[in-house]
Every structure is written in structure tokens, then in C-alpha cells.
Structure 1
Amino acid sequence: MSGAPEPTFEGEWTFADDKPFPLAEGGELSPVTLRYARYGELNRERDNVILVCHALSGSARAADWWLEMFGAEGAFDLNHHCVIGTNIIGSCYGSTGPSSINPRTGQPYRVTFPLITIRDMVRSQALLLEHLGITRLRAVIGGSIGGMQALQWAVDFAERVGRCVVVGATELSAMGLALNHLQRQAIQNDAQWRGGDYDFDSPPVGGFAMARAIAMCSYKSAELFTERFGRRPDRSGEDPHRTPEGRFDVAGYLDYQGVSFTRRFDANAYLTITKAMDTFDLARGYASEEDALRRIRAPLLLVGISSDWLFPAADVRALSDRARRAGVDASYLELHSSHGHDGFLADAHRLAPPVREFLNKAEVMPVARTVVGVGSNAHD
């Protein structure tokens, strides 16, 4: 596709005006607004919907950040599919989040925004789809935190999901929890943090940029950094061998990514969503993870990314094994990519064909598949 398709419809839906929306860990929100975008048209039966769940800093406009998954050569063919994306609660791209006005105070929620979970995000999406008259999804798909949402959909709303695709997502390991903690600490230790009550025109840029730089390291791979940057001096002309401030090229890249991110995202939203990422746990609310997995009725495709060290491919494959032992029609694929966790975005053109096959022919999908891309790591 030459350019990202525009949504057929984009707007907001507000609910929980009179009766608060209860949250999984005890809080509540009222009212709640969800920003959503629809690509393509609903068919007469309203059963051609693919729900695309975004990652940490994504938005409802799925084609803007996952373009190569759209089109006849992608996984989402808008001649047949209707794709819906929502901005998750807790974010800052149109849905209720920390920068929204708390009607009780008339001021932004900021740090008073309640603890939200992946289950809360999914339940709000389910209410939106009910409002739109959509009772069953052809599929739900997502990468990273979006993959957590997709998996939670398959568990909590088993009868409403036709197929489920989870890319680069499991529960976070101790390393992942540590990295998220350091990112939040970087933000909160910035002098401009002001206990979370910072001026939107003067956010904690230094700490927030550092948090994003840490995150970028976790999203990429050592192989990619070596290929792109090596030990070359920063492309601005700085010489790291001459001055204490002189940077290597990789440092310039991280600094740029950090500062640019602070211009398009909210620090409190970042804390809120990374905490939801931390607390994702399928066993929460059920007797065990196995009990949760047994609820899944949809064919499930789990995709690991070979160079991902935030959600290691081995962890994704292990989740696939546990799902099959719980009786789920689960398959595992490994996307060979040097882009680390970001492989589901950077190598979407390689991800799209097997996902398209799974969406269209899930009933004959074998349990084990050949690895996507170079090499072989199929699992018996």
C-alpha cells in the first residue's frame, strides 16, 4: 500500500455517566470515553470484525502504526474485513486517562488516576463493541501490550472471539518488571515531576526522555544496534574521544528518541500503562493460569520474535505449550527478526502472510509451523 488508509469512521463513545465503571482492582471511573477508529465496512451479519489492540504508545488509528498488515497482501483485507482499533483507557490519545478531567474536581486526574489493568482495557472494549452491535469478533490481534489484551479477550470473552493472535507478549519476566520500574523512577526523580502535578507545558522532560531511552534499548537488539551504530561517533560530528560530552552514534539516537517521545506522550499515562503491563497475569481472577487458559475456545496463534529480550521467544513458546496442555488449539510461530521486540512493527511485512493464513484457515492450522523468515526453529 502506498499510504495509510484513513479510517472509515473515527470518533468517541462515552459511557458510565450514571453508573461508574468498576475496575478490576477496586477503583472506578465515571464517565469513561473511548476513542476508536473503524476501517472498512461491517457486513450484514456484523461478524467480519478484526479488533486490533495497540501497544504502549499506539492509538486507535491502527493503519498509522501497522500499515503493512493492511491490504490484500497483508493480513487485513478491507474488501472483506472491518478493522476496529480503540485507544486504551489510561492513554492520552482520546480515551480517558490521567490527563483527562476528573469531574469530581474539575482538574486533570494526573496521579489520582486509578490503577487500571489489561482486564479493564478489554472490558471497556467489549462494552464499546456491544454499543456498536458487534457480538462476536472474527479475530482479535495485538503485539506487546496489545497481545496481552488479545489474550485476555480470548480468556474473558471466550464465546465472542473467533480467532486470537498474540505477538511478542506473555506475562513480564523479572527483567521486564525491573526495566519498567527503572523507567518510572527516572520520570519520578525528575525535578519537574512535582509529584505528578507537573504543568503540561513543562513536563519532566529529562526523566521522561531517559525512561523512553531505556525502553528503546529493551525494544531493540544488540545485533541491530551493532549493525546500525557500531562504535561510530555521533553523526552530528561529536567526538566521544575528545570531550566528556561527546557521544557515540547510539547515544545520539537514544537521546533523540527520548526527547521526541516526550512531545507526543504524557508522563502520567506512561506510568499508568507500564503499571498495567506489569500486573498482567492470566491467573488473576481465576483459580490458576491453567484455569484461565481452559476458558479459551478460539484457535490461538502465539508469535515469538527471535531477538526479543523483553518478551523472549522461549517464554512465548512456553505459553503456547501450556495453552495446548490446557486443551487450547494453540500454535506457535517464530518471527526471525534482528529488530528485537519491535520486530512485530519493523518486520510486519514478514508477519502478515502467516497471520493472514491463520485468520483465513484457522480450522486447518497445524499445531507446529515452520519458522517465519530465515532459519528453522519449528517446534514439535
Structure 2
Amino acid sequence: MLHEVLPLESGEELVNPTLHYAVYGRLNAARDNAVLVCHALSGSAQVAEWWPQLFLPGGLLDLERDCVIGINIFGSCYGSTGPQSIDPATGEVYGPTFPLINIRDMVRVEAKLIESLGIARLKLAIGASIGGMQVLEWAILFPERVARAISIGVAPLGAMGLGLNHLQRQAIMLDPAWKGGYYGDGPQPEGGLALARALGIISYKSVPLFEQRFNRKPNRHGEENPWISTSAGQNGRFDVAGYLDHQGEKFNPRFDANSYIAITRTMDTFDPVRGHESPFVAYSRITAHLTLVGISTDWLFPPEDIRSMAAIIRAAGARCDYREMASVHGHDAFLAEPEQLVRLLTPVFE
């Protein structure tokens, strides 16, 4: 817990916020072997649980050599201060009143945590999606504190991504159980959250992947017929519909609707050059060896956007290389094909 008032860029503040973190391995005597791994939207500080392939023999991380740190982001429901936390000003759960947190706010507090662990400089900061946003902000805000930085599948969201995030939040808020966000310990808006997650899943995948997996097949190996009404007067589902419904339903037990809204708003507001005189001024601050990774079929964060950002960063005088995963898995490729990601990034360390 930080025993202080944390001012936010939104003009609001957090009082005595808490960051939940996990550490794998040990710091060496020189304290120069620290690796920060930043998680995606629904991830947690438990890096080894959601990205275990990074720790396998031949992977990017070696616990005999590296001290790996995962930090749960503000707004999450996995330990750090978020909508389910108590607001010290009211003594009540924040719920929908949880303040807007941007990526820069997160990174500033993460830096305080890293400093409290006696780490002056990170050997590496790596993350994907909203985790990659944090990595890029680390490289800009604290250039002297990051040696290498790898940001995967990230650029400021375009209009399509912003629109999809808006619709996901609307799906939650239109659920009768939403109650203005004050559902408390009662039933949360499970239908709305499930629908929001299903919409999110579509944005994380690709057209080729869905065509390959589902095409126009009926659900449950043909047991549900989309062309015939059931006894309830509803049609059966296509396979893709069954998959998306299942993804939404299994998300409910492990996440919170207010957290989902808070974190998607954080993603929306990511803009690493905002507040700087120009992109060149912002990116010229970077001294880390920065690697940006695009994914060939990612339409949420198109690879051409990331490639263009890499070119601007290089033009600003920073060391930045661009690499691209060739995958049908869309934005989720960093989780779906981690072995390929490891192969792609291994040369960065040679």
C-alpha cells in the first residue's frame, strides 16, 4: 500500500492505493536482473499462470538468471485497488465511482513499487495489449530505468477499437442487474458482462481463424439446427455463436463488470504522445532498446499502425526495431502461439 494521495491525470485522486504484485526468482547482488512483465486486460500479477511458456527451457525468461515481477493494474479485480475496493472518502465500495486511471498513472505507481524493491533499473520490461501500453510508457517516462522494452500488439486504439469498447460497456450497462453499477454483493450483470466479453473475443480473433474453425457449421456438431425453431420458439445456433456464448459465460465467475468498464476506459485513453510537444519530443526520450511487435491478422491493433509508430520512434532518434508475428489468431496470437513469439523475440537478446 502507498500511504499517500495519488493525483491522477483525470484530475481525481486515489488515497492510499494498493498494488498487488508477484515475484519469481531472486534479485542478484547487483540488482540488475529484474524483468517486469505487464499483463493484458483480464490478466493478473501471476505471470507464470497466464504466460507460462516464457519460463520454459529455451524461453525468454530463466529463473536461474532473472527476477521476474508481475504487477496487477489499477482497476482490476485481482488484488490492486479497483472498483471493488473501499473508497476511504466514503467508507463504501467504489463501484461505478472508481476514478479514470490512464496508463501513465499506472506506470508512475509501478515505478514507485519497483523502486521500493531496491531496483534502480529494469533489465527488461515486456507486455502485450494493455501490458504493451505500459511498457511503452515506461520507456518514455523513465528512460533511465529500462534497458530493454518489448511492446506487443499495441498502438493507440483507432475508431473501430474505441467503438467496440463503447459497445461492450453499453452491453453491461443495459443489463437490468447493472443498477447503475451499484450491484454490490448481489447478482452482477452477468448477461451484460458475458455479451461484452463475447464482443471483446471477436476483436481479439481474426476472420481467417473464425472461417477455419467455425465457417457456417451448426453448433454442437450439428445437434443445434439454426434453420429449425426449437420448442421455445428460438432457432438453434451456429457453431460460432455457441463458442462466443461459452466464452462469455465462463468469464463471469472470474471477473467484475465495473472492473471491465474501468480497464476498457483505460485502454481507450492510451496515447503515449499526449501532453508532449510532439511525437518526436515524446519518443526522443526513449533510451531503451525498444522492440515493437505487430500481429499480421490483428485488426484491433493493426500491424501497419504499429509499424508506422516504430518508424516515427526511429525518426525521433530512439533505437526501435519492428517484428511481426505471422498468425491467423489475431490479437490473441501472443497467448495462442507463445512458442512462435519466443522464437521471434529470441534474437533480440543475442
Q: Which amino acid in structure 2 is aligned with residue 337 of structure 1?
A: S
1:304 counterpart SS class: strand
- Deviations 1:119-141, CA, capped at 9 Å, x for gaps: 11111110111111111000101
For 1:105, the equivalent position in structure 2 comes to 90
Q: Does 1:64 align with 2:64?
A: no
- CA apart distance, 1:241: 1.0
The structure 1 residue matched to 2:304, chosen from 300, 307, 314, is 314
1:190-209 alignment, distance < 5 Å? 190-209=175-194
For 1:264, the equivalent position in structure 2 comes to 254
For 1:242, the equivalent position in structure 2 comes to 228
The structure 2 residue matched to 1:348, chosen from 334, 338, 342, is 338
For 1:364, the equivalent position in structure 2 comes to none
- CA apart distance, 1:104: 2.2
1:164 counterpart SS class: strand
- CA apart distance, 1:228: 1.2
Over the residues paired in the alignment, what is the CA RMSD in angstroms?
1.1
Task: Determine if contact 1:304/1:334 at 8 Å carries over to the other structure.
Answer: yes
Return the alpha-carbon distance in structure 2 between the equivalents of residues 133 and 286 of structure 1: 30
Unmatched segments (≥5 aa) in structure 2: none
Moved over 6 A (4+): none
1:38-77 alignment, distance < 5 Å? 38-77=23-62
- CA apart distance, 1:336: 0.5
Return the alpha-carbon distance in structure 2 between the equivalents of residues 352 and 121 of structure 1: 27
1:32 counterpart SS class: coil
The structure 2 residue matched to 1:327, chosen from 317, 330, 334, is 317
Q: Which amino acid in structure 2 is aligned with residue 253 of structure 1?
A: Y
Q: Which amino acid in structure 2 is aligned with residue 144 of structure 1?
A: S
Return the alpha-carbon distance in structure 2 between the equivalents of residues 157 and 268 of structure 1: 30
- CA apart distance, 1:176: 0.6
For 1:182, the equivalent position in structure 2 comes to 167
Unmatched segments (≥5 aa) in structure 1: 1-13, 362-380
Return the alpha-carbon distance in structure 1 between the equivalents of residues 9 and 343 of structure 2: 36
TM-score by length of 1: 0.89
For 1:378, the equivalent position in structure 2 comes to none
1:332 counterpart SS class: strand
The structure 2 residue matched to 1:227, chosen from 208, 212, 215, is 212
Q: Which amino acid in structure 2 is aligned with residue 242 of structure 1?
A: I
Q: Which amino acid in structure 2 is aligned with residue 241 of structure 1?
A: W
- CA apart distance, 1:354: 3.1
The structure 2 residue matched to 1:159, chosen from 100, 119, 144, is 144
Q: Which amino acid in structure 2 is aligned with residue 238 of structure 1?
A: E
2:246 counterpart SS class: helix
Task: Determine if contact 2:60/2:346 at 8 Å carries over to the other structure.
Answer: yes
Task: Determine if contact 1:20/1:28 at 8 Å carries over to the other structure.
Answer: yes
Q: Which amino acid in structure 2 is aligned with residue 328 of structure 1?
A: A
TM-score by length of 2: 0.96
- CA apart distance, 1:356: 2.9
- CA apart distance, 1:287: 1.2
Return the alpha-carbon distance in structure 2 between the equivalents of residues 63 and 261 of structure 1: 20
For 2:112, the equivalent position in structure 1 comes to 127
Identity across matched positions, percent:
55
Task: Determine if contact 1:54/1:87 at 8 Å carries over to the other structure.
Answer: yes
Task: Determine if contact 1:293/1:323 at 8 Å carries over to the other structure.
Answer: yes
For 2:123, the equivalent position in structure 1 comes to 138
Return the alpha-carbon distance in structure 2 between the equivalents of residues 278 and 328 of structure 1: 26
Return the alpha-carbon distance in structure 2 between the equivalents of residues 245 and 121 of structure 1: 46
Q: Which amino acid in structure 2 is aligned with residue 327 of structure 1?
A: G
- CA apart distance, 1:90: 0.9
Task: Determine if contact 2:82/2:98 at 8 Å carries over to the other structure.
Answer: yes
Q: Does 1:29 align with 2:14?
A: yes
Return the alpha-carbon distance in structure 2 between the equivalents of residues 105 and 298 of structure 1: 42
